[in-house]
Amino acid sequence: MKEKSMIRMRMSAHDAHYGGNLVDGARMLGLFGDVATELLIRCDGDEGLFCAYDNVEFLAPVFAGDYIEAVGEITRVGNTSRKMVFEARKVIAPRTDISPSAADVLPEPVIVCRASGTCVVPKQCQRKN
């Protein structure tokens, strides 16, 4: 069975880095790092280390007030390496055109970022394999 993990977070004004309350794409990679850490703990009982992304695609903008769901799964387990894929989806968006606190649950999530990468858990740190 493949290990999977998901987190959901609201992007705050603190996350907005550019004009128009646009959130830096690196914030999605930070979420993927948190998902990867949980996956490694579930798989190996250790946080491990993120070695590299081999692909990152930014597909839609993210703004302060958006709720982002970041999901990931381990697709391959090597001796010490763990290959993973990630996807970030916008599930709620603010509606400041209606009022400062209005928001809508989106009828379909909007994929904002996809990535894949490799993490490593040293053999001496693996407690579950």
86-118 confidence digits (pLDDT tens) = 999 999 999 999 999 999 999 999 999 999 999
pLDDT at 1 over 60: no
Pairwise CA distance, residues 59 & 122, whole Å: 33
Does the pTM of the predicted model rise above 0.85? yes
Where does the pLDDT of residue 125 fall: very low under 50, low under 70, confident under 90, or very high at 90 and above? Answer: confident
pLDDT given for residue 24 in this prediction = 93
3-class SS string, the chain: CCCEEEEEEECCCCCEEEHHHEECCHHHHHHHHHHHHHHHHHHHCCCCEEEEEEEEEECCCCECCCEEEEEEEEEEECCCEEEEEEEEEEEEEECCCCCCCCEEEEEEEEEEEEEEEEEECCHHHCCCC
- In 3D space, the residue among 15, 67, 8, 62 whose CA is nearest the CA of residue 35 turns out to be 8
pLDDT of 64 strictly over 90: yes
pLDDT of residue 2: 74
Q: Which of the four pLDDT bands, split at 50, 70 and 90, describes residue 82?
A: very high
In this predicted structure, what is the pLDDT of residue 42?
A: 94
Which superfamily does 4-125 belong to? Answer: Hotdog Thioesterase (3.10.129.10)
Distance CA 86, CA 5 (A): 10
- Whether residue 29 has pLDDT greater than 60: yes
| Res. 129: pLDDT tops 70 | no
CA distance 113 to 61: 9
- pLDDT number for residue 91: 98
For the chain, the straight-line distance linking the first and the last C-alpha, in angstroms and rounded, comes to: 14
- Per the prediction, the chain carries an average pLDDT of 94
